Amino acid sequence: MNAAILAQVVVNGLLLGGLYAAIAAGFSLVWGVLNVVNMLHGSAVVLGAYAAFFGWQLGINPFLAALLVGPAIGLLGWVVQRFIVQRVIAAPVLITLVLTFALDLILNNAMLAAFTADYRKIGSITGLPPLIVGSVAISADRLIAAVLGIAATFAVHLYLTRSRLGRAIVAVRMDQETARLMGVKVEHIYALTFGLGLALAGVAGCLIAAVFPISPLNSGSYLGVAFVACVLGGLGSVNGAIIGGLVLGVVESLGSMLVGAEYGVTVASVLLILMLLWRPQGLLGRAGYD
């Protein structure tokens, strides 16, 4: 392998990782704050992608569509948590896991019935030729999608650290009982966090639709990406989701080159197992912080 090919593969992995970060951040946030493994997350990504696809057919740029699709799917997430998930929020994790899995089946099958399993693809958005940096060619659409993915994730980090509601989410994440005693309405924070998580999924879907073909069949792979990147970065850490997404993207890209693209999921699974054995709290997580 020469240096030029290696540089191209790493850059491709970083661009892919930017999208993975946006997928993982919302999943990690919901898991960390609500202690709910949201199996609905992958289908929410696909739903956002379809919204961007049909918006594109109406002349709406997918990057701009994310500004509408994210809040819309976030509102759907708020409703789902407030009126369905909240009813079993105090139950064992297995119950909420089964519940969100059932919701995922309903949404995924509804999309299959409405849109079929056929793959659909948005054409070039910018129409610009690839950027050439040395020996590395960078797709303009992929670069913009990756930058926007990381920017959306970083915006959530700023919201959590700079706003009153964001700090309330962090407080519930750290100790919900103490937060409740301090006057935080924990049930409201749960619904807000679930909505915020699905809003990020919707934004990620719009960015993915700008780069990759979409189908309801992809929801499982996006859920897997969220799972692995979340574990890599650290449970409940938005910054960790960025690091986890970038690492996963580069590892997948290198793995695809070395052992074949068809083994990308296997490479990610091996990475997940190694991470759980070496540092189960993730790169930016804290041991014993649950």
Return the CA Rg of the chain: 19
Question: Rounded to whole angstroms, how far apart are CA atoms 70 and 137?
Answer: 30
Specify whether the backbone of 281 is left (phi greater than 0), alpha (psi in -120 to 50) or beta. Answer: alpha
Q: Which two tokens stand for residue 178?
A: 């103490």
Q: Which long-range contacts (CB under 8 A, 24 or more apart) does 166-169 make?
A: 169/29, 169/33, 169/193, 169/196
145-174 residue pLDDT tens:
999 999 999 999 899 989 999 999 999 988
According to the CATH classification, is domain 3-278 in 1.10.760?
A: no
Cβ neighbourhood burial of 66 (10 Å; 0-12, 13-18, 19+): buried
- pLDDT given at position 290: 40
The lowest-confidence range among 70-79, 129-138, 181-190, 275-284 is 275-284
Question: What does the domain layout of the chain look like in residue ranges?
Answer: 3-278
- pLDDT given at position 95: 92
| pLDDT bucket at 263, cuts 50 / 70 / 90 | confident
The lowest-confidence range among 104-113, 131-140, 210-219 is 131-140
What mean pLDDT do residues 244-250 have? 87
What mean pLDDT do residues 259-282 have? 75
40-77 residue pLDDT tens:
999 999 999 999 999 999 999 999 999 999 999 999 99
Residue 289 has pLDDT above 50, yes or no: no
**Model confidence, pTM:** 0.90
Coil, strand or helix at 121: coil
- pLDDT given at position 284: 65
| Unique residue bearing structure tokens 């290198």 | 254
